[in-house]
Structure 1
Amino acid sequence: MRAVLRAARRYWAVTLTLVIGGIGGVLALAGAGAAVQYLFSAYALAIALWQAVVMVRRLLRREFGLDVLAIMAIVATVVVGEFVAALVVVLMLMGGEALEDFANRRAKHELDALLARAPHSAHVQRGDRFEEVPVDEVAIGEVLLIRPAEVVPVDGTLLAAHASVDESSLTGESVPVEKVRGELLLSGSVNGPEAVELRATATAAASQYQQIVALVSEAAASRAPVVRLADRFAVPFTAFSLALAGVAWAVSADPARFAEVLVLATPCPLLIAAPVAFVGGMSRAARGGLIVKGGSVLEQLAAARTAVFDKTGTLTHGAPEITEVRTASGADADELLTVVASAEQYSSHVLAASLIRSATARGLTLREAEDAREVATDGVEATLDGRAVVLGKFAFVAAHAPDAVRTRIAPGELAIYAAVDGRYAGAILARDTVRANARRTLERLAALGVRRTLMLTGDARETAEHVAAEVGIAEVRAECLPADKVSTVRGIAERPVIMVGDGVNDAPVLASAEVGVAMGAKGATAASESADVVVLVDDIGRVADAVEIGRRTVAVALQSIWVGIAVSIGLMVVASFGVIPATLGALLQEVVDLITILAALRALGPRRERTGSADAELGERALDRRG
């Protein structure tokens, strides 16, 4: 009962129209037929005047819509004495708006659920007790208490021995994840049955879930070009409807024909179908761990002809394992690894985590650098114990150490070169493994119409070609700088282009493609902010899912538009011969509206089961400046 009352209040215009109809029914039973005509006609004309004011305001903003058809249908039915039909048209108009609102609410369910779950407060340790404070006031380094079943408010490292958390709102995976002391807890995940403490590593604004909320809000506020294109159909559709109604009147010499045709000139296929379908597609994408920043992105995904991939952290796992330490003459392997890992402590690159992990596994003690800076796409410069350390790409190191020599690497390996005090110190070799479902993803993209695929990477050509051969990519551009990637993407003729990347250096090229896709499973980066689609799950297969959702959404939107228009035109033609009375026509128009909305809601679709390897495990984020 509460739901009914809530709906009655929300859609008050529909409720009022039904009340007017009920009053009219009572008056008719009482024998006051004239009063019914005056009541229905006056109410219908009042609604027509209200809608006319709204229409004029839109016209002043240069927004032409189909309101004129509904207004003219109301006026025409009142003039010819079809007052019952006039009330039905009003119910159609108000009901159409209510159905559109309901359909949009239904379609945005998953998006709204993400927004509603955003944490607003946190329990922060202040002195010897925990105080509840607004989440925006949490500072990095503060200790927070996360109660059972509570949403983690900010990103932080776990202080308790272990914890079980639900990350389904972030990853789409429903199985609880077990965490141990020192591991990262992402904001938006839900704590398990035991209270735990964590130390904040990011502010609320910089945390994972708040970034997702911002992306969702941006996506929900967008409007697709196909919707604007649908608006443009308003002029020819209105002209056709008025012309057909005028011809029917002129031929029959019966003004009622004019009204009978207009009541069937339904605007819903144009006004409702496309927005509902695109919101539904975005909602379906959110269910699958994809944040799509607008309906226009779904259109571009549907039409995509080329896909370009970064390598590290995208086609590969982005967590290389150190395989060998090769030193220059007289150098010690452990010392070289210690120096390199110590310098990499100040780097966000994926290789930094691998080097530090390898040094720790060998029992080496890392040192604190006197100063360090990361040179984007090239490497790191640091001062350790008064010595100048340079590490990264060969060309970068060779510029500081002329005696540097390239080391031989096997297919699939990569090398991190190092120099100390201007002399070449050696190279550390690492190997990154290809994602198990990378090849299957490319096959799915080809089946969906993406005929050309390329790999762009900053890695050495040998490594890049080895990975490309494993996944089935024929075109490779290796040893690329960010500017090289941008120029390559801009020069591709087969468009639209999808660019899939994962690192800070991918942000420019993601922005230059029609659709930038960021593998953002472990937090928002410059790549995520520049991308049009953010993959919240560490699974390359979701890229093919995004294309599939885009194709289905566009197909559903256009099918709904044209089916609705075709049915409306067919009924109008029949009505022009005087076969359909105005009241029946208005009722049929409601049926057309409902059919159109239900057809558009198909974009929500059943969640398709993906084939191939899931490959959805969550690893360390790869902030790839070199590949």
Structure 2
Amino acid sequence: MRRLLRLARRYWAVSATLVVGALGIVLALAGAGALVPWIFGGYALAIAAWQAVGMVRQLLRREFGLDVLAITAIIATVLVGEFIAALVVVLMLTGGEALEDYANRRAKRELDALLARAPQRARVQRDGGFADVAVDEVVVGDVVLIRPSEVVPVDGVLLSPTTTVDESSLTGESIPVEKVAGDTLLSGSVNGVQAVELRASATASASQYQQIVALVAAASESRAPVVRLADRYAVPFTAFSLALAAVAWLVSGEPNRFAEVLVLATPCPLLIAAPVAFVGGMSRAARNGLIVKGGAVLEQLARARTVAFDKTGTLTRGTPEITEIRPSGGISSDELLTAVAEAEEYSSHVLAASFLRAADARGLVRRGAESAREVATNGVEAVVAGRRIVVGKFAFVAEHAPDAVRTPIAPGELAVYAAIDGRYAGAILASDVVRPEAPGMLARLDALGIRHTLMLTGDARETAEHVAAALGISEVQAECLPADKVAAIQHLDERPVVMVGDGVNDAPVLAAAEVGVAMGAKGATAASESADVVVLVDDISRVADAITIGRRTVRVALQSIWIGIGVSVALMIVASFGLIPATVGALLQELVDLVTILAALRAVGSRRDDAPGSRAPNAPQQVPVG
């Protein structure tokens, strides 16, 4: 209730219109209907005068939109005595402005939420110990303690010998990065399993995470405003309507003829058709696992000429998967995987879960370890059923098994080595894999006329090019920081641009593109809040669905607008000869509105399977790409 009251106060014009309408109904029921026209007419003219001020400001800026036509319609309907129609036009006009303001406020609130998730506290060395201080109090040169699994609060240089950090929120790369003393740690990355110290090299406001937030804000503000679909037809429709009404008046010499024409020239086909079609399109998108944040987004999707993709978590799964098992020393693949899984069950490394999933998928039975210890950044040692199992990096395993040999790997792959009782047992290769639906999605984009696709990623160039080659993407920009991605999008010539990504590192570029699409199935992220479209299911083929829905929605909206305009123009021409009285014209205009609404509702569509268009009948198999 409190929230409703806040909204009612904020959007007072909508609230006042509803109150005036309700008052009119009460007065009519109470037998005081004679007052209703005065109340409705006076209120409508007052709103028209208020809107006229804004209209003049628009005209001074050389902008011409539906507000001009709406004001003309309000005045015309009052003059011919169609007071209810005047109030309806007022409600549509003020309601549309309220919805636009609400969307802008929501976007700002989501940006504030992104900022709120930045690290707030830091443990800084003070007087021989560590004190908990606000992150804004950290200065360059401070020694900061980062505890296990803690978000790095400021950029700095690692003082501890080694650590492993998860930089996926910054670079998109899912595999943890090993750091040694002297390496840079970026704010927003997540520390590994051991506490470390760093020396701050930047204040919080100048650090990576806060720069990402600033990029999001700057990119959002730099976007060119989208001209509403219906506004493009406002000038010619208004000019034609006024000219026809004036000619009818001059030729007939009857002032009423002017009003009789204009009452049929109300902008309802323009005010109603596009919003109804876009709401229908957004509903259709929701049934397909897509949240579209506004009708303007559907317009941009319909006009899209370029689609850019992040790699990790977007074109690929984003989590390492076992791609090959290479046993040695006479043991089988199952025996090697079982031994590795038994040891990795006690590891906190991101790859441990992949080994366990692979073992479970094969139905392998794991035995509990008698003892186990994890050697940070190196691997795991465990004793299982009397056997000593060592799993980890090559150098770590080679210390326990001198016969260990390196195994060749493809770009983007990594190898985990294993030894059993001092003898080399083999290696298991892991890699990110291309989403099985990605090749089909790219083929659908090509069929939709999207000729320009590219990849923007923070990953190493060799890995990125390997993925692009597997998918047939010719243009790749690798090793990009968030600012590099924004610059790349801004320099593209073929626009509008659709950018698809996930994670904090993609938030700025999603805001910079005309349409940002976030893969949000794995939870709310900064990407989801900066994006215009959020994919709620873990399926990148929905990107092609979004463009298909956008194009169909705009097509239906345009058809509906032209149907409404066509019928209105025909009726206006008839009315110009004095064949349609004003009251009858107002009733006919309501029929025009009904026809327009029914035509626009076609954008809703039917079942989900029919909405996006045909998909490839058989999804391609997973391709290990790194």
Alignment of 1:141-540 (within 5 A): 228=228, 230-231=230-231, 234=234, 237-319=237-319, 320-321=321-322, 323-324=324-325, 345=348, 351=351, 353-354=353-354, 357=357, 408-410=408-410, 414-415=413-414, 429-459=429-459, 463-540=463-540
Unaligned runs of 5+ in 1: 1-9, 25-37, 78-85, 105-223, 328-332, 373-379, 386-390, 393-404, 419-425, 620-625
Distance in 2 between residues matched to 1:489 and 1:341, nearest whole Å? 41
Q: Which amino acid aligns with 1:543?
A: V
Question: 3-state DSSP class of the match of 1:545?
Answer: helix
**1:37-72, CA deviations, whole angstroms, 9 ceiling, x for partnerless residues?**
x977x6434322110112223334557343433343
Distance in 2 between residues matched to 1:436 and 1:546, nearest whole Å? 19
**1:334-355, CA deviations, whole angstroms, 9 ceiling, x for partnerless residues?**
9x979996997376xxx56425
In the alignment, structure 1 residue 49 sits paired with structure 2 residue 50: no
Q: Which amino acid aligns with 2:259?
A: A
Question: 3-state DSSP class of the match of 2:596?
Answer: helix
Q: 1:490 to 1:68 in 2, by over 3 A?
A: closer
Tell whether the 8 Å contact from 2:457 to 2:477 is kept in structure 1 after alignment.
Answer: yes
Tell whether the 8 Å contact from 1:226 to 1:274 is kept in structure 2 after alignment.
Answer: no
**1:508-541, CA deviations, whole angstroms, 9 ceiling, x for partnerless residues?**
4333322222222121223323322111111111
Distance in 2 between residues matched to 1:560 and 1:252, nearest whole Å? 33
Distance in 2 between residues matched to 1:254 and 1:75, nearest whole Å? 18
Hey, what does 2:420 align to over in structure 1? Answer: none
Hey, what does 1:73 align to over in structure 2? Answer: 76
Q: CA deviation at 1:594?
A: 1.3
**1:221-267, CA deviations, whole angstroms, 9 ceiling, x for partnerless residues?**
xxx96674635755664454333322211211122212211211122
Hey, what does 1:552 align to over in structure 2? Answer: 552
Distance in 1 between residues matched to 2:343 and 2:493, nearest whole Å? 42
Distance in 2 between residues matched to 1:504 and 1:325, nearest whole Å? 36
Q: 1:99 to 1:598 in 2, by over 3 A?
A: farther
Tell whether the 8 Å contact from 2:308 to 2:455 is kept in structure 1 after alignment.
Answer: yes
Q: Which amino acid aligns with 1:534?
A: V
Tell whether the 8 Å contact from 2:309 to 2:499 is kept in structure 1 after alignment.
Answer: yes
Q: Which amino acid aligns with 1:255?
A: P
What is the aligned length?
A: 434
Hey, what does 2:119 align to over in structure 1? Answer: none
Distance in 1 between residues matched to 2:415 and 2:49, nearest whole Å? 67
Q: 1:484 to 1:11 in 2, by over 3 A?
A: closer
Q: Which amino acid aligns with 2:615?
A: T
Distance in 1 between residues matched to 2:584 and 2:513, nearest whole Å? 51
Unaligned runs of 5+ in 2: 1-16, 59-66, 98-223, 329-335, 383-391, 394-404, 418-425
Tell whether the 8 Å contact from 2:292 to 2:533 is kept in structure 1 after alignment.
Answer: yes
* CA RMSD between the two structures: 5.0
Q: 1:318 to 1:587 in 2, by over 3 A?
A: same
Q: Which amino acid aligns with 1:554?
A: V
Tell whether the 8 Å contact from 1:249 to 1:257 is kept in structure 2 after alignment.
Answer: yes
Percent identity for Structure 1 against Structure 2: 59
Q: 1:225 to 1:585 in 2, by over 3 A?
A: farther
Distance in 2 between residues matched to 1:54 and 1:444, nearest whole Å? 48
Tell whether the 8 Å contact from 1:507 to 1:531 is kept in structure 2 after alignment.
Answer: yes
Question: 3-state DSSP class of the match of 2:574?
Answer: helix
Q: Which amino acid aligns with 1:72?
A: I
Q: Which amino acid aligns with 2:40?
A: I
Tell whether the 8 Å contact from 1:342 to 1:369 is kept in structure 2 after alignment.
Answer: no
**1:557-586, CA deviations, whole angstroms, 9 ceiling, x for partnerless residues?**
233233322332332222112222223222
Q: CA deviation at 1:274?
A: 2.1
In the alignment, structure 1 residue 58 sits paired with structure 2 residue 57: no
Q: Which amino acid aligns with 2:488?
A: T
Question: 3-state DSSP class of the match of 1:321?
Answer: strand
Q: CA deviation at 1:497?
A: 1.8
TM-score (norm 2): 0.57
Tell whether the 8 Å contact from 1:344 to 1:352 is kept in structure 2 after alignment.
Answer: yes
Tell whether the 8 Å contact from 1:324 to 1:430 is kept in structure 2 after alignment.
Answer: no
Question: 3-state DSSP class of the match of 1:263?
Answer: helix
Q: 1:364 to 1:103 in 2, by over 3 A?
A: farther
Hey, what does 1:92 align to over in structure 2? Answer: 85
Distance in 2 between residues matched to 1:384 and 1:491, nearest whole Å? 51
Q: 1:308 to 1:428 in 2, by over 3 A?
A: farther
Q: CA deviation at 1:589?
A: 1.0
Q: Which amino acid aligns with 2:250?
A: A
Q: 1:512 to 1:339 in 2, by over 3 A?
A: farther
Tell whether the 8 Å contact from 1:276 to 1:601 is kept in structure 2 after alignment.
Answer: yes
Q: Which amino acid aligns with 1:557?
A: A
In the alignment, structure 1 residue 584 sits paired with structure 2 residue 574: no
**1:179-237, CA deviations, whole angstroms, 9 ceiling, x for partnerless residues?**
xxxxxxxxxxxxxxxxxxxxxxxxxxxxxxxxxxxxxxxxxxxxx96674635755664
Q: Which amino acid aligns with 2:540?
A: I
Q: 1:575 to 1:384 in 2, by over 3 A?
A: farther
